[in-house]
Structure 1
Amino acid sequence: MTPEQLSTAIVGALTDLVDSGALTLPDAVPASVVVERPKSKEHGDYATNVALQLAKKAGLPPRDLAGLLADRLRATEGIAAVDIAGPGFLNITVEAAAQGALAAQIVEAGAAYGGSDLMAGEKVNLEFVSANPTGPIHLGGTRWAAVGDALGRIFEASGADVTREYYFNDHGAQIDRFSTSLLASAKGEPTPEDGYGGAYIADIAQQVMQTEPRVLDLPDDEAQEVFRSVGVNLMFDEIKQKLHEFGVDFDVYFHENNLHESGAVKRAVERLTDLGNTYEKDGALWLSTEQFGDDKDRVIIKSDGKGAYLSGDLAYYLDKRERGFDRCLIMLGADHHGYVGRMMAMCAAFGDKPGENLEILIGQMVNLLSDGQPLRMSKRAGTVVRHDDLVDAIGVDASRYALARYTSDTTIDIDLDLWAKQTNDNPVFYVQYAHARLASILRNAADLGLSAARGDAFDPSLLSHEKEGDLLRALAEFPRVVAAAAQLREPHRVARYLEDTASSFHKFYDACRVLPMGDEEPAPIHAARLLLVEATKTVIANGLHLLGVSAPERM
Structure 2
Amino acid sequence: MTPADLSRTVLHAVRRAVDEDALRAPVPARVRVERTRPGGSGDYACAVALQLAGPAALPALEVARILRERVAAEPGVGRVEITGPGFLSFTLDAPAAGDRAVLDAVREQGLAYGHGDALRDEILQFHHAREVRAAVTAHAVRRLVVAQGARVRVSCEEASDPDWVRLGVTVDAHGTPPVPLTGIRPVPAGATAAELLERLGSDAARWGLLRPAGHDRAALGPGLLVQGEANPLFRVRYAHARARALSRGAAGLGFTAEPPPCPEPAPYPGPAAYGRHAGHAPGAERPVPHDGAARPLLDLIADHPGVLLAAARHRAPDRVARQLEAVAQAFFDFHDACPSLPAGDEKPSAAHRARLALAEAAGTVLAGGLSLLGIRAPDHL
TM-score band w.r.t. shorter chain: 0.7 to 0.9
Which residue of structure 2 lines up, in the alignment, with residue 52 of structure 1? 50
Corresponding residue SS for 2:185: strand
Which residue among 209, 214, 221 is the counterpart of 1:403? 209
Tell me if structure 1 keeps the 8 A contact 2:138–2:184: no
Which residue of structure 1 lines up, in the alignment, with residue 225 of structure 2? 420
Equivalent residues in 2 for 1:507-546, closer than 5 Å: 507-546=333-372
Which residue among 157, 164, 169 is the counterpart of 1:248? 169
- After the TM superposition, which of the residue ranges 512-521 and 460-469 deviates more from structure 2? 460-469
Alpha-carbon separation, structure 1, partners of 2:233 and 2:284 = 33
Tell me if structure 2 keeps the 8 A contact 1:98–1:461: no
Which residue among 422, 425, 429 is the counterpart of 2:234? 429
Which residue of structure 1 lines up, in the alignment, with residue 189 of structure 2? 366
Cα drift, residue 495 of structure 1: 1.1
Equivalent residues in 2 for 1:431-470, closer than 5 Å: 431-453=236-258, 459-460=285-286, 462-470=288-296
The 3 A distance-change label for structure 1 pair 20 and 157 is closer
RMSD: 3.2
The 3 A distance-change label for structure 1 pair 85 and 99 is farther
Q: Deviations over 1:514-552 (max 9, x none)?
A: 222333332223223322222221111111011111112
Q: Which AA in structure 2 matches 1:423?
A: G
The 3 A distance-change label for structure 1 pair 164 and 389 is same
Which residue of structure 1 lines up, in the alignment, with residue 150 of structure 2? 160
Cα drift, residue 124 of structure 1: 4.4
Tell me if structure 2 keeps the 8 A contact 1:83–1:91: yes
Which residue among 20, 31, 34 is the counterpart of 1:33? 31
- After the TM superposition, which of the residue ranges 112-121 and 537-546 deviates more from structure 2? 112-121
Equivalent residues in 2 for 1:170-319, closer than 5 Å: 239-240=161-162, 242-251=163-172, 316-318=176-178
Tell me if structure 2 keeps the 8 A contact 1:366–1:411: no
Which residue of structure 1 lines up, in the alignment, with residue 85 of structure 2? 87
The 3 A distance-change label for structure 1 pair 40 and 397 is farther
Tell me if structure 2 keeps the 8 A contact 1:104–1:454: no
Which residue of structure 1 lines up, in the alignment, with residue 300 of structure 2? 474
Corresponding residue SS for 2:219: strand
Alpha-carbon separation, structure 2, partners of 1:476 and 1:103 = 9
Alpha-carbon separation, structure 2, partners of 1:165 and 1:497 = 28
Alpha-carbon separation, structure 1, partners of 2:320 and 2:364 = 14
Which residue of structure 2 lines up, in the alignment, with residue 119 of structure 1? 119
Alpha-carbon separation, structure 2, partners of 1:394 and 1:539 = 25
Equivalent residues in 2 for 1:73-152, closer than 5 Å: 73-94=71-92, 95=94, 96-120=96-120, 122-128=122-128, 130=130, 141-152=131-142
The 3 A distance-change label for structure 1 pair 394 and 519 is same
Q: Deviations over 1:154-192 (max 9, x none)?
A: 1321223444455655xxxxxxxxxxxxxxxxxxxxxxx
Cα drift, residue 402 of structure 1: 1.6
Q: Which AA in structure 1 matches 2:367?
A: A
Q: Across the two proteins, how many residue pairs are aligned to each other? A: 358
Which residue of structure 2 lines up, in the alignment, with residue 392 of structure 1? 198
Corresponding residue SS for 2:33: coil
Cα drift, residue 448 of structure 1: 1.0
Tell me if structure 2 keeps the 8 A contact 1:146–1:400: yes
Alpha-carbon separation, structure 1, partners of 2:26 and 2:216 = 44
Q: Which AA in structure 1 matches 2:169?
A: V
Q: Which AA in structure 2 matches 1:507?
A: D
The 3 A distance-change label for structure 1 pair 91 and 59 is same
Tell me if structure 2 keeps the 8 A contact 1:405–1:495: yes
Which residue of structure 2 lines up, in the alignment, with residue 232 of structure 1? none
Cα drift, residue 411 of structure 1: 4.1
The 3 A distance-change label for structure 1 pair 389 and 89 is same
Tell me if structure 2 keeps the 8 A contact 1:99–1:469: no
Alpha-carbon separation, structure 2, partners of 1:466 and 1:27 = 43
Which residue of structure 2 lines up, in the alignment, with residue 220 of structure 1? none
Q: Which AA in structure 2 matches 1:25?
A: L
The 3 A distance-change label for structure 1 pair 251 and 14 is closer
Alpha-carbon separation, structure 1, partners of 2:341 and 2:82 = 40
Cα drift, residue 92 of structure 1: 2.4
Tell me if structure 1 keeps the 8 A contact 2:209–2:218: no
Alpha-carbon separation, structure 1, partners of 2:353 and 2:219 = 42
Q: Which AA in structure 2 matches 1:26?
A: R
Cα drift, residue 398 of structure 1: 1.8
Tell me if structure 1 keeps the 8 A contact 2:127–2:156: yes
Alpha-carbon separation, structure 1, partners of 2:65 and 2:318 = 38
Equivalent residues in 2 for 1:7-46, closer than 5 Å: 7-14=7-14, 24-40=22-38, 43-46=41-44
Corresponding residue SS for 2:183: strand
Q: Deviations over 1:111-146 (max 9, x none)?
A: 32222223336554544453xxxxxxxxxx221232
Cα drift, residue 243 of structure 1: 2.0
Alpha-carbon separation, structure 1, partners of 2:284 and 2:229 = 33
The 3 A distance-change label for structure 1 pair 536 and 426 is same
Alpha-carbon separation, structure 1, partners of 2:115 and 2:246 = 26
Q: Which AA in structure 1 matches 2:243?
A: L
The 3 A distance-change label for structure 1 pair 467 and 78 is farther
Alpha-carbon separation, structure 2, partners of 1:416 and 1:127 = 27
- After the TM superposition, which of the residue ranges 449-458 and 485-494 deviates more from structure 2? 449-458
Cα drift, residue 104 of structure 1: 0.8
Tell me if structure 2 keeps the 8 A contact 1:393–1:420: no
The 3 A distance-change label for structure 1 pair 10 and 164 is closer
